Structures are given as structure tokens and as C-alpha cells.
Structure 1
Amino acid sequence: MSLKWKCCSYLFLLALLAFTGCTTNEARLLNLTPEAVSTDQNQFPPGSRLDDLALGGITPQEAKEKIQSWSKDKLEENLFLVYNETEIQFTPEELGITLDFERTWENLSENTGKQTHSVLAINDLMANQVLQEKLAEFSRSAVDATFKVENDQFKITPATSGEAVNVDAFLAEVKKASLGDLPRRIPITSVEIPATVTTESLKALAFDGVIGEYTTKYNAGDKNRTANLIAAAQKMDKVLLKPGESFSFNGTIGPRTAETGFKDAYIVINNEYVKGIGGGICQVSSTLYNAALLANLSIVERHPHAVVVAYIPLGQDATVNYPTLDLKLRNDSSSYIYFRTKVEAGNLTIKIYGKKTGAKVRFEKEIEKELSYHTIRKIDPDLLPGAVIQEQSGSKGYIVKTWKIVTDAQGKETKQLLSRDSYAPTNRILKIGAD
């Protein structure tokens, strides 16, 4: 077309716009260039399409009304979600899918005479809620791994993963489509929901054998003391400690009273053996202390006896007195710790289960000083004149240092000072008949 002809055509168009009352500025506001404006009073030119909707030859107002009617029909059409060969019917409108009219009209206005695509808007919250309800039967919750201790073994029930419909992937796919090419059948996938407590995490926490064991002997003929040993040992039997958790002997055994099942037996007061409620319980705490040392557990609180006790080596005892003196341990390992106690045939045995590391523990001692005992004579009017009976044998006192030496699986040794303990002598007590 010649330049002269183009100029004549443009002048003719301007004249036409003036005649129809539409100015060039108004045409620009409608996003219609002179080339796009039809000679039939501001109509969309031939070839203007929105998805599968023809809009050529109609005015913008007519186009808007046609698009609104068309989109309403489209949004009410039945679609199908396909999940594992099961079809679930729904409409786009039910899912909160609407036509983004503003962006759609903008696309159309910028591409008159051509085919353009509609733009969808999705209410994600509404879509998620509706889809979860419609597809609830296809979801399965994850089941955490659990464990129980059976026959002194850590037994795990494995975790099972859950399954949920992949709503996010579905919405992402829909957002890429236009209203005209929204698929009638939409496949939907699932996602795995992992368990919060996995089988692997419990395996890492599982104990696999005895890591500390200690036995002390007692006089089974002393019925009350034996009863106290049994009562205390039973209260801490099968205790399970998580990594980082602490154990309190007093907190576990509780008050030593007749109401809680404890009996009178010999205890040490002012360096003398006298009858007192709960006698023998310190043997349980001392046995536990040694088992804990051999298991290489952390000792948070421990106190020595005032005098030497016969059932345990020097520096390895642990006295308790409710509620002031306690024995406290902490599980600083990466696995569960499990206690087992056994009282029979004059032997008290405590085993501590944990995860074996190959480490070995032994003790070293140094006696700094020996302290001689004194003999105390008491007149007993019930004895014959000149008669002498030993009521309590004397024993020396000591100041002793105790070390724990740990040898790891690679043979490396670590030496730790456990304590420097002072034990007072136990007086020798003689009962003498009056002259």
C-alpha cells in the first residue's frame, strides 16, 4: 500500500470516529488502536478470540457480557479428579476457581484481532479445604514407631508412613491452565507423610545389653534388713531413663516409713549401729552407685557414709537419707538406660542396660590416713559382776582417694578423681557388769 493511500485511510478513519462520537483518546482508553477499531462502531476486529470464545464483530460491552456468561457456564461444568482409577466429580466453582476478569480483559485488549487466553484466580484455602474433604477417604495418617521392653530386650514396632493427596501439585497445575482449556479429567497424585518418630530414630536410642553390673552380699538371716533391701530394690526395678534424663534415688524410693513398707533395722548414728527405720537401704544405693560407675554414667550427687561399711569397698559407697542426702545419676549417653534389680540368696545385684561402646571401667585407690578407733565401756546392771560383753566391734577410720579409669574401645585411658572421702572410726563398745 502506498504512503498516499495509508494517509488517506487514516484521515478517513479519523473522520469516521468523529462522526460516531468516539475520539482517538477514547479509543486509546479502550486499548483499541486505529487498526483494531472496526468500521462498525468500535467493534472488536475479526479474529478476536478468548480461548474458544469468538469476540470479533461485537462491541466491548457486548464482549464483556458474553465473557461473563461464558465463564459462568464453564465454572459450573462438571470436572473429574482421577485418583488411583477413582473419579471424584466437582465443579471449578466448588473449588473456589473464578475468572480473573481484570487480567483477562487486559490480555484481550492488548491482543485484539488474535486469540488470547483467560486467566484463572484460585482461592487456595477454599480449594484445599474442599479437596481434603472430597479426598479424605484416600488419606492415611502416619503411625509413629513405638517400643517396649520385653524380657529385658528393646523391641521396636516399626513406623508406617502416611499418604495424602498432593493438593499443592494439583493447584499448581490448575493455575497454569486457562478457563477454556481446563481439563475435564485431572489426574491427582499423592505424597508420602513420614512418621514423626521413625524406626531408625528408635534404633539409635535402643539399648543392646548390660553395660554395668554390681553385686553386694547381705545377711539373709536379718529379716527386717532383707525386707528393706527387697522393698527398695523393687521400687527401682525396670526404671527406664531417656538420654539426658536424671534419676533420683530418694525420688524413686520415697520416704522410709512403716506406712511405706519399711522396717526397723540397724543404721549408723554418731558412729554407732542402732535400730532405725529403713536400715539396709544404703546397701541398695551403694550397689547402684557402683553399677552406674561401671556403666560410665554421670554422677550428679553422691555422699559417703560417716563410717566404713562392710558390704562395699572404701570410697565406693553411697549413703542416702530421705530427703536430705540423695544419690542422683544422669543418662549422658545417646541411648535409653534400663535398670534391673535382683535380691536373693544373700546377694543384691543391680544391672544397668545401655548401648555397648566397648569401654571398660576400673578403680584405683590411695589411703591417705588411717584413724584408730576407741574402746568405750558401758556399765550394764543386768550383767553379773565382772562380766564383759562386746556390744560392737571397733573399726578403723580412713581418708581415701578413689579414681575411675575408663579405657575406651581404642585402648585410650581416661583417669578421673571420683572422691576424697573421710570415714570416722567405729567405736568398740564393751558392756560390763557392775561390781
Structure 2
Amino acid sequence: MTKHRFKKHTFFILPLVTLVILVSYLILNMSFGPANKILPGVYLMDLNLSNMDRHQALRAVQQLQNRLSQPVTLKYQDMQWTLPLKRIGLKLDARAEVQRAMDIGRYGSPWRKFVERRQAHRGIHLKPQIYIDTNLLEQVVAEATEAIILPPRDAGLVINADDSVEVSPGHAGRLVDVDKLRQDLIHNLLQGNREPIELKLIEVAPGHSTEEVKAMGVDTLLGSYSTHFDPNMVNRTYNISVAAAALDGLTISPHEVVSFNDVVGPRSTEAGYKSAPVIINNELVDDFGGGVCQVSTTLYNAVLLSNLEIVERTNHSIPIQYVPIGRDATVVFDAVDFKFRNNTDYWLYIQSYVSDNTLYIKIFGNSRYKREVVVRSWIEETYNPETVIEKDYSIKAGDRVVKQKGMPGYRVAAERVVMQDGRVIKTEKLPSSIYKARNEIISEGMAEPGAILSNQDLNE
């Protein structure tokens, strides 16, 4: 081998030997540790997790969380408040942090494992993920800093006792910047900084400005209707109040179609309804939500008198007593609905409430659409009930008992007359109503004297 070639090989061999020696040195001086323990040199912030097993590390991380949860001080100008971090849901995901620590130097390619073990030998300080409940933080800070904040106020509509309409002005608010405070809290905790945190205030616009509410154009009562009910029917009265409350305060955009069922929702115990009489197959039976149809019927008449468009309406199977015949609107959730359209170019606002055994529904809108409205209904045809005789061996021969009282049926027409300045501008035919007759059922006695059989005897 020539001198030149020897120098050439030396040029490549020496760095390789040096690298092998260096790697050997590092390997000999790095602890690989047991597989079920965290490598030496791994920290979570300043918490030394070296050689801890999973259970030891979990306890240690919980102690770290308790230490981080100590109160901090907030300040604004010359004022200060104490913020109890335990009240804002501060926590660490202890299991995730321990798993992250245990994974160091144990997963990935050989090179990655080597690099991570080398880093652990020098010391790895992990930064935990700190969780803070923003809603709780906002609530606690708002309570503490009440003296320096000003909540925004939405503009709204005010309905006076005389049904006149006013706009309640809104204004912007001044609140603590909770997002920045949350970031500052986490940053200081990770840095071990316990200095007071300076609060930043931000201006917050109202959800609805005065200009927006004025632009809705609601300035007058378009129409209203009321119906009475028996307060002694406690469950039914309760259901009426629940359904009326669902309608109260409803705002309807121009040309929007309103579904009664969508607004009021299912009639169930979960929704707060009780069992009360409802009309099913021409008979009154107890079911959840009995009385809700009085609310839909009252709304139907208020809609008619407000000169709004009827989209969908169905009458009951028998006439009801609290409105003139042909002016009722039955509803069954997911089956029969009452719908109407806001056929104006402005918003509508519904006021719905119960007072002195009376349900009131009022519809407010823009005065450009205020009209005088008269609703009329009349019977066009009457359907007489039939008499059905049923033999009954539990009744003495010659006796008769009315099992079901008959009720006539009707075909009813209705119309809406719209006037302006005392002059009729439109006469509109309304949906007709068909009420089926209910047959009279008479039980005729068939049993001879001394031979009356019970129903149980007949079944046997």
C-alpha cells in the first residue's frame, strides 16, 4: 500500500472510529431503564419523573395539578382580585402526560430512540397541556370584576299595557378579554410565574343593536284573539300555559312560514306536559298535551284577524265550544300542523300569555299592513246522526240504555273580509270544516227476568 493510499484510507477510517467511540460512550452513559418505568432525566415542568412507574407518576402529576391550582392574583389599574383556579376547572390529563413521558426513547425508529435517550440523558422538561374551562373562567371573573365591567344590553321591543310598541335601546358593553386571560394564565403557569396578571378590557357589541330592532319595523298591533278555559281542569290549564309560553316572544322574519308544531315541540312529559282530555275519534280521552289545541286555535284566529296568510289548517272532528264553529285549528305533533306565513315585508312579534282564566295571543307588525278584518262562519249542511241498536244480554228485556249520545255533524264555510278606511278591499274564502256526525248508540235489553248474565259469564 502506497503512502498516498494509506493517507486516503486514514481520512475515512478515523472519523468512523471516532463516531463509534462517541456512540459507545453515549450508550454506556445513558440509562435505558426498565420498560415499565420512565427514563431517567424526564421531567414534567420541574417535576422529576425519573425511574417512576405508571402509578407513581400518576400520583406525582396529580400533586403537580394541585400545586398549579393555587390561587393567582388579577389586577386592573390599582385594583386586585384573587382568582381561585380550582373554580375554573383547571386540570391536567394525568394519564396522557404520564404516557407521553413513558413513551420517550421507546417508540419509533432506532435513530429516534437514540436521539430521545440522548436528550433524556441531558434532561427533558416536558410542558403539560393545561385545561381551563373557559365558561367557568368567564363566570368567575365576571363575578369578581363586577365593578369594572359593563355587560352589553340587547335592544328589544317593549309592549306597553295599551298595546303600543316601543324600542328599548341597546348599548355596547365592556368586558374582560377572557381569551387573553386564559392564554396569560397558562403561559404563567408553565413558566412558574406567579406575578399578578394584568386584565385587558374589550368592547363588546350587543347581540341586537337599536338600529337592527328598529329596522324590523314592528310598530303596531295587527290583530289579537282570546279564549277562555275552565281553571278547575288543572292539567289542561297547565298545558295551555306551557304551549302559550313557547309562542311568547316569537319573532318571525318577512315571508317566513311558521309551523306551530316546530315552535311548540312534542307534547310529552319531557317537554313538561301533563295528561288531559283531547278529542280522538269524536270522543274525549285523556292524553299528554290536552289543551294545546286551544292554543293553536287561538293563534289561528289571531292570524286571521292580522290578515296573514293561512298555509295549513285542519278542524277538529267535532265542534268545540271556545270559538265559533268553523274557526278551530287542531294539531297533532308529527301528524297534523297549523302553519301560516308572514306575508308582509317586515318582522312580526307574538305575545302569548294566560291571565284570569283567559288565553291571549297578540300579533304585532308594521302599521303599513294594519287592516280591519272581520271573520264569519256559517253552517251550510247538517248531518243527522243515526241511531244504532245493540243487543245487550246484561240488561233486562224491554229496557233501553243510551250508550253513546248522538251528535249532528256539519259542513261549515268561513270567510275573511278585509277592509281599509271602512271600504272592503278583499273577501277571502277560508278553509271549510267538516264535522262528522256521531251516531247514537242504544243498548237494548235482551235478558229475561232472573236470567241476567254478566259480561264475564258471557265470555266464559
> What are the superposed Cα offsets for residues 261-307 of structure 1, whole Å, 9 maximum, x if unpaired?
11222222222222222111111100000001101111121111122
Separation in 2, partners of 1:156, 1:311: 36
**2:351 is the counterpart of 1:340:** yes
**2:410 is the counterpart of 1:398:** yes
Q: How does 1:23-422 map to 2 (within 5 A)?
A: 147-151=155-159, 153-155=165-167, 157=169, 202-356=213-367, 357-374=369-386, 393-409=405-421, 411-422=423-434
> What are the superposed Cα offsets for residues 369-424 of structure 1, whole Å, 9 maximum, x if unpaired?
10112456789999999998867654321111111110023624201111122111
Q: Quote how far apart the aligned CAs of 1:368 are.
A: 2.0
Separation in 2, partners of 1:411, 1:254: 40
Change (3 A) 1:395 1:412: same
3-state SS of the aligned residue for 1:400? strand
Unaligned segments of structure 1, at least 5 residues: 1-144, 161-196
Separation in 2, partners of 1:420, 1:198: 44
Q: Quote how far apart the aligned CAs of 1:249 are.
A: 0.7
Change (3 A) 1:205 1:271: same
Separation in 1, partners of 2:288, 2:431: 28
Change (3 A) 1:215 1:429: farther
Separation in 1, partners of 2:258, 2:320: 24
Point out the structure with max Rg over C-alpha. Answer: 1
State the match for 2:192 in structure 1: none
Change (3 A) 1:310 1:360: same
Separation in 2, partners of 1:311, 1:233: 16
3-state SS of the aligned residue for 2:155? strand
Change (3 A) 1:202 1:230: closer
Stretch moving more, 418-427 or 321-330: 418-427
Counting matched residue pairs gives: 255
Separation in 1, partners of 2:394, 2:271: 36
Amino acid aligned to 1:359:
R
Q: Is the 8 A contact 1:225 1:265 kept in 2?
A: yes
Q: Is the 8 A contact 1:308 1:424 kept in 2?
A: no
Unaligned segments of structure 2, at least 5 residues: 1-152, 173-207, 453-460
3-state SS of the aligned residue for 1:211? strand
Q: Quote how far apart the aligned CAs of 1:220 are.
A: 1.2
Separation in 1, partners of 2:424, 2:415: 16
3-state SS of the aligned residue for 2:300? helix
Q: Is the 8 A contact 2:155 2:171 kept in 1?
A: no
Q: Quote how far apart the aligned CAs of 1:232 are.
A: 0.9
> Identity percentage over the alignment?
35
Amino acid aligned to 1:352:
I
3-state SS of the aligned residue for 2:431? strand
Q: CA RMSD in A?
A: 3.3
3-state SS of the aligned residue for 1:287? helix
